[in-house]
Amino acid sequence: MSAGIDLENVCCDFGSFRAVDNANVSIKPGEFFSFLGPSGCGKTTILRMVSGFIEPTQGVIRIGGKDMRGQRPNQRPTALIFQNLALFPLMTIAENIGFGLEMRGVDKATRRAKAEELLRLVDLPGAGDKMVSQLSGGQKQRVAIARALAVEPQVMLLDEPLSALDLKLRQHMRAELRAIQKRTGVTFIYITHDQGEALAMSDRVGVMSHGRIQQIADPRDIYNNPVNGFVASFVGENNVFVGDLGTVSDGMASLSTPHGSFRARIGQGVSGKGVKLYVRPEHTIISDFAPAENGVHGTVQEVSFEGAFIAIHAVSDSGMKMVAELRNDGSAAIPSIGDQVWMGFDAQRAAILPDANTKG
């Protein structure tokens, strides 16, 4: 019921512009895989190639091990869901869900039974006789998913399906979508520019920039071990120090910057001057005393209460703005505006990383 998808050296050119550059990924049967990246990085183009609306300029796409070259969209075991879903307003919900089956000559009683089954799956039992206009945005989205599932695709392709919904509903629908995917076991390829969505729902995430896949990993690894500065910055916040690389040994390196000399993990392919060290605000520690290493002295400028955490904005004596996030669990003393503080970080929690993987 579900199929894996392989992309091998897949490129897509629009004239002289390369929208997707040498994409390689193996998505497993039944996996929830997301492509995450900013607008224009090539996410939709990948989905259009998988669904068969455009052919790759180069490379091979396989679904369930079968080369898809020359296979039209309706010959592929895929279903596509967009942000602006097009439910038919003059049909009932059940008729909407049964539409694809009707096109395939399935009889009315069978269509109705299938619609009822799918409405239970998407948590809208008994809604079959309602009209589209009677449903909320989130309910319409669930009907669109039920309609796509009706034809029993092996792969669901979802292109920013939640982006038209408001924040609360979007967060609720994340869990819903994930649950629907688990219940059906269908392979999901999900596209989003929202890092929270990608991290919360996916088994694995492919982070993209300028047509290139930068990193493929599970959500924790993407956040904790980004391979480059693009991934580190697109997925989460950082304090970033720029400096010149010193000695490197055992995966650790020293960096000399205008704000002090630091030690951190070092990623692949970094060398020379003007390189960047990344440390997360939640790994930035505030103390009254200078830490043994990686300390920066400064003054608190703003204390921002965010609920679950407190953001301390400070500026170092050397003029660099930094942010530290303290958990609101009573474990740490909260400094006040104007306090003199030391900011620091564990060398293992900071990384010197190369910039994005871009066209050479």
Ligand X SMILES: Nc1ncnc2c1ncn2[C@@H]1O[C@H](COP(=O)(O)OP(=O)(O)O)[C@@H](O)[C@H]1O
Answer whether 114's CB lies under 8 Å from 98's CB.
yes
What lies within 8 Å, CB to CB, of 301 at 6+ separation is: 313, 314, 315, 321, 337
Q: Should residue 187 be labelled a site residue for ligand X when binding is judged by CB under 6 A?
A: no
User: CA triplet 161, 187, 218: central angle to 5 degrees?
Assistant: 85
Which is nearer to ligand X, 14 or 88 (by Cβ)?
14
Least distance between ligand X and beta carbon 201 (Å): 18
The yes or no reply on residue 44 touching ligand X (CB under 6 A) is yes
Q: Which stretch binds Mg ion (CB under 5 A): 39-47, 253-261, 287-295, 320-328?
A: 39-47
Dist CA 210 CA 232 (whole Å):
16
Distance CA 178, CA 145 (A): 12
Query: Which residue carries 């790994």 as its tokens?
Result: 283
According to CB under 6 A, which one of 19, 119, 132, 143 is a site residue for ligand X?
Answer: 19
CA dihedral (242, 244, 246, 251) positive or negative: positive
The pair of structure tokens assigned to 26 is 């193996």
**Of the listed pieces 39-47, 94-102, 213-221, 309-317, which binds ligand X according to CB under 6 A?**
39-47
Q: What is the largest CA-CA distance in the chain?
A: 76
Minimal distance in Å, beta carbon 73 to ligand X? 16
Contact between 18 and ligand X by CB under 6 A: the answer reads no
Among 34, 45, 96, 214, binds ligand X (CB under 6 A): 45
Token pair of 178 as six digits: 């994930």
Contact mark string toward Mg ion, 60..79, x via CB under 5 A: --------------------
Q: Does 53 bind ligand X (CB under 6 A)?
A: no
Among 19, 20, 41, 44, binds Mg ion (CB under 5 A): 44
Report what 98 binds from ligand X, Mg ion, none; CB cut-off 5-8 Å by kind.
none
Is-contact 156 183, C-beta < 8 A? no
- Output 48 or 142, the one with its CB closest to Mg ion: 48
How far apart CA 265 and CA 258 sit, in angstroms, is: 19
Interface with Mg ion by CB under 5 A: which residues? Answer: 44
Question: Which parts of this chain interact with ligand X (CB under 6 A)?
Answer: 14, 19, 37, 39-45
